[in-house]
Amino acid sequence: MRYGIVGTGSYLPSTVVSNEAIAERTGIKASWIAERTGIHQRRFAQPDQATSDLAGLAAQQALAAAELPAELLDFVILGTSTPDFPQPATAVIVQAAIGADHAAAFDVNSVCSSFVYALDVARGLLAADEKARYALVIGADIYSRQLDFGDHRSAVLFGDGAGAVVLGPVDGEHGMLASRLVSDGRLQDLVKVAGGGSRNPHTPSSLMTGAGYFTMQGRAVREYVETTVPDLLEGLLKESDLTLDDIDMVVPHQANAILLRNTFARAGLPLEKLHLSCGHYGNTAAASIPITLDSVVRGQGIDRGSLVMLLGIGGGMSAGASLHRWVGTSAGLAAA
C-alpha cells in the first residue's frame, strides 16, 4: 500500500518582527537583510509559548484538513531541534495535548532537515506495520530564544513556527513515491549549539560564553547547499526515472530566498515551480517545509496528480528530498 499526505496545517505566532526591528538589535541595515536574504519579516513566539504549543496547533489544523480524529493516529513524529525539554520527547507532549491516545510518539532531530527525515521514517513505519494506518508528522521550532543578536549573519534569518501533515493510505498511483536522505558528519561544526549536551553541559560559565547560542558558518553552509542540492535532485530523479521537467512544484527548506533561487536556477528548475515563504516568515527551521506546503494548499491549491518535491537542508550536515504524487484531501484516502 502507498501512503501520502492527506491533510496539511500550520501555525505562525502572532508577533510579527520586521527587518527594522532586527536591524535595531543587530546594527545591520534593514535594507541589507532584504537584499542578502529575501526576508522581510518573521514571527517570534510569545514568552509563554513552547515548541509543543506551536506543534499542537499546527497538528490540529492538519487533522481537521484530513477529517481524521486524533485517536486514529498510530504515530506522532515531531521534527525539531528546539525541544521543550532535553527529555521527555516533545512529541509526547503534543500527543497528550491533541488526544492521540493510541499513537507512539517520538522526536527526530536533523536540524532543518528534521521534517523530511521524519516524513521518511513515518512512511517506513506505516509500510512495516500492517495494522498501522496514519501518522502525524510535524516540523516545529522556536529559534528566537537561541539566537545571538551579536552574530548578525545568523540572527537576521530565523523565525518561529510549526507545520504538520497527516500521512495515510491513498488510492491509485498517488502518495509518496520515493525519497533520498544524505548526511556528512565531517561537517558537523558548520551548524551548531555547542552547549547543553553531555559533551558540554550547561554551567554558569558556559552560558556566559554563549555556548547556548546557535552558530552557523554561513559561507561553508552556502557551499554545501550549492553542491549538495543539485546532486540530491539528480540522484532522486534518476532513481525515479524522472526529470526536472516532470516536477510540477518544489517546496524547499526556507533557508534564504536569494540562495534558493540561485541554486535552483543553476540546477535548471524554472523558478515559477519554486515555492518560498521565507519572505514573510523567515527561516523557520524544521517547520519551514510544512508551513510553506500548507500555505500553497490553502492559497492557490495543488492539483490532484501534481508531482511535488519536498527538499530539506540542515545541520549535521544533512539533506533530504521526497517525491509525492499529490492526492491532498481526505477524498483521496484508500478504503479503510
Catalytic residue numbers read 112, 253, 283
Cell numbers for 250, please give them. 518544489
Strand 307-314 relative to strand 191-193, pairing: unpaired
Q: Which class for 128: exposed (0-12), middle (13-18), buried (19 or more C-beta within 10 A)?
A: exposed
Cell numbers for 113, please give them. 532537515
Cell numbers for 219, please give them. 559561507
Query: According to DSSP H, which parts of 198-304 are helical?
Result: 204-208, 218-239, 257-267, 278-281, 288-298
d(CA 5, CA 23): 39
Sheet containing 161-169: which strands, arranged edge to edge? Answer: 3-11, 161-169, 135-141, 75-79, 104-108
Cell numbers for 282, please give them. 523567515
H/E run at residue 99:
none
